Amino acid sequence: MNDRALQPEDIARLFVEAWNQRDAHSLAELFVEDADFVNVVGLWWRKRENIFNAHDYGLKIIFKHSTLTLRYTRLRQLSPKLAVVHAKMQLENQTPYDKEEQAGKRENIFTFVVAQQKAGNWLCVAAHNTDVVPGMETNLVTEKGIRPVDYRKTSS
């Protein structure tokens, strides 16, 4: 990072850069000490240290060859010192779970809640990552597991 104070719109871009460099330290430094992070399956990490640990593991094992691409962002300023940044991203080359299947591209939306700190930098106080499942409305949990569904396609 340079000497310029971080702005709200920098957070998503710097998150992607840290991800693609497999730099969990720089990624975690985008968050305040007592931040919250909820991932795509609902794992909830509290505190920067836990956000670091989860991403350090993930970037070494689950996403070691992945590429995260920032498609676009939207900034919503809530007050002079509080903002929400939504970011549409695409993830490619996730580590295959077994030898039989290759992971495809994933679209996701990140929500970063950012607050201006005393030093002027903006840091993330909470983040939530959500996978986009095209054409689906919600998830359904049954005895067979969880799956995305679209109720508009059911016959009544």
116-155 residue pLDDT tens: 999 899 999 999 999 999 999 999 999 999 999 999 887 5
Q: Is 27 part of any domain?
A: yes
Q: Is 2 part of any domain?
A: no
Q: Is 5 part of any domain?
A: no
Q: Is 3 part of any domain?
A: no
Predicted pLDDT of residue 3:
65
Predicted pLDDT of residue 153:
80
Q: How many domains does the chain have?
A: 1
Domain of 84? 10-153
Q: What is the pTM of this model?
A: 0.91
% of the chain beyond a pLDDT of 70 = 97
Residues 6+ apart with CB under 8 A from 67: 20, 91, 92, 93
Helix (H, G, I), strand (E, B), or coil: what is residue 19? helix
Angle, alpha carbons 25-31-32 (nearest 5°): 120
Q: Which of 63, 62, 104, 68 is nearest to 88 (CA)?
A: 68
Q: Is 81 part of any domain?
A: yes
Cβ neighbours around 11 below 10 Å, total: 25
Predicted pLDDT of residue 49:
98
Does residue 86 carry a pLDDT above 90?
yes
What is the rounded distance in angstroms from the CA atom of residue 112 to the CA atom of residue 126? 6
Q: Is 4 part of any domain?
A: no
CATH code, domain with 49: 3.10.450.50
Q: Is 1 part of any domain?
A: no
Predicted pLDDT of residue 126:
98
Residues 6+ apart with CB under 8 A from 86: 73, 74, 76, 109, 110, 111, 112
pLDDT band at 4 (very low <50, low <70, confident <90, very high): confident
Residue 103 has φ and ψ, to the nearest 5°, of -70, 135
